[in-house]
Amino acid sequence: MNLILIPILYTAKIGLNIIYFFIKLFTKQKNKVTMLSRQSNNINIDFRLLKEEIEKKNENSNGNNSNIEIKILCKMIPKTLWGKIQYCFYMIKCLYHIATSKICIIDGYNIAISSLKHKKNLKVVQIWHATGAIKKFGYQVLGKEEGSNKKIAKIMKMHANYNMVTCTSEATRKIYSEAFNTDIEKIKVLGMPRIDYILGKNNEINEKIAKLYEEYPKLKEKKNIVYVPTFRKDKVIDIDKIIDNINTEKYNLIIRLHPLDKNEVKNEYKVDKKYSTSELIKIADYVITDYSAVAFEAATLDKPLFFYLYDIDEYVDIRGLNINLQEEMKDSTSSNIIDLVDMIENNTYNCQDLRKFKEKYVQTADTNNTKRIVEYIMKSLEKMRGKETKI
């Protein structure tokens, strides 16, 4: 497969470079911020909050940074051949907006951002789509079963060209530096916009939850256990073990799988996807996960957090972990779901371990995350304006 894919990628990269060369040649950078994502087809909460904060700063800037143009482009790579062809034309549109921007914000690996050569003054800000990283990713798993192919990563310059990466703690800085193969000085503890959202800034999440309770009144009648496992490539999650061992007469069980997961979940354990995982964590009385970054959101909200690690030995071999959960959260970690359910039933949760976990990995557990990131962006724009004035 790679023997066929590698020359295709080389050809595609050359083609993109040629197109981008002429786009750069005939365009000028504007006072513009472009946000790019291929995580979904909808504008995510991080981008939306950043846009609102930039507009707010814009209104109060007294002309210093006025008229900042904001462009948001969100589109997943389609699975069909025709969809992929259409995506190529969409990428040309992205190239135009990158070439005419001074700031580009991304929330994952972006082909155009990392693999192409940009105008000198372009600043790229990576706001990773997860709140942290329990499991290894990026360059940490290069060549592994669940990681990227080394040759393909080299051709596509995986995670190159970042000027700043935001994170939620000093502990996460080292992890991100390794995963993005980026100088640790570029990793800034500024936080994630979504933390502002889940902590209830502007009351928006509370309004969404009111609608959730209205649509699912049973969620107010009993305590809610939310199970959010991480995505496992080519693996089947044994959901039945969770269902069989939780007393659904006493608790509501909500199962939220990764969007790429192909497991089937009965409707009685599902909540419509228009309600985000963050919103489900907000209404949870208990959160069960494994290696998912939702653990950091649960910790931010001080929710009793349990780690069901039934495949820990295998997972460490094929993927690897950044955090030793069996040490740092030992009292709420088990390979046996019955142990975790017993802790819920007997109310024996170790809140002290959760507090330490939160203090170590979510140092930005406040409602100023978006503000800090936007201030960085504004300062970068101001510096560029200063250089243009001197010239």
CA dist., res. 13 & res. 8, Å (int): 9
When mean pLDDT is compared across 124-133, 295-304, 305-314, 376-385, the lowest value belongs to: 376-385
CA dist., res. 387 & res. 170, Å (int): 32
Domain with CATH 3.40.50.11820 in the chain: 2-196+367-385
Question: What proportion of the chain, given as a percentage, has pLDDT over 90?
Answer: 81
Please say whether the dihedral angle defined by the alpha carbons of residues 337, 228, 134 and 198, taken in this order, is positive or negative. Answer: negative
pLDDT category, 390, cuts 50, 70, 90?
A: very low
Q: Does 156 have pLDDT greater than 70?
A: yes
Q: Does 2 have pLDDT greater than 70?
A: no
Residue 217: alpha-carbon gap to chain centroid: 30
Looking up tokens 């470079």, which residue turns up? 17
Q: What is the pLDDT of residues 158-188, one digit of tens each?
A: 999 999 999 999 999 999 999 999 999 999 9
Q: Does 330 have pLDDT greater than 80?
A: yes
Question: What proportion of the chain, given as a percentage, has pLDDT over 70?
Answer: 96
Please tell me the predicted confidence (pLDDT) of residue 389. 43
Please tell me the predicted confidence (pLDDT) of residue 5. 79
Q: Does 34 have pLDDT greater than 80?
A: yes
The Cα angle at residue 390 between residues 385 and 391, in degrees rounded to 5: 95
Domain with CATH 3.40.50.12580 in the chain: 200-361
Q: Does 33 have pLDDT greater than 60?
A: yes
Top CATH class, 2-196+367-385: alpha beta
Please tell me the predicted confidence (pLDDT) of residue 391. 37
| N-terminal to C-terminal alpha carbon distance within the chain | 51
Q: What is the pLDDT of residues 276-299, one digit of tens each?
A: 999 999 999 999 999 999 999 999
CA dist., res. 290 & res. 325, Å (int): 9
- In this structure, which CATH number among 3.40.720.10, 3.40.50.12580, 3.40.50.1970, 3.30.70.20 belongs to the domain 200-361? 3.40.50.12580
Please tell me the predicted confidence (pLDDT) of residue 63. 52
pLDDT category, 387, cuts 50, 70, 90?
A: low
Q: What is the mean pLDDT of residues 323-352?
A: 96
Q: What is the pLDDT of residues 216-260, one digit of tens each?
A: 999 999 999 999 999 887 777 888 899 999 999 999 999 999 887
CA dist., res. 328 & res. 341, Å (int): 20
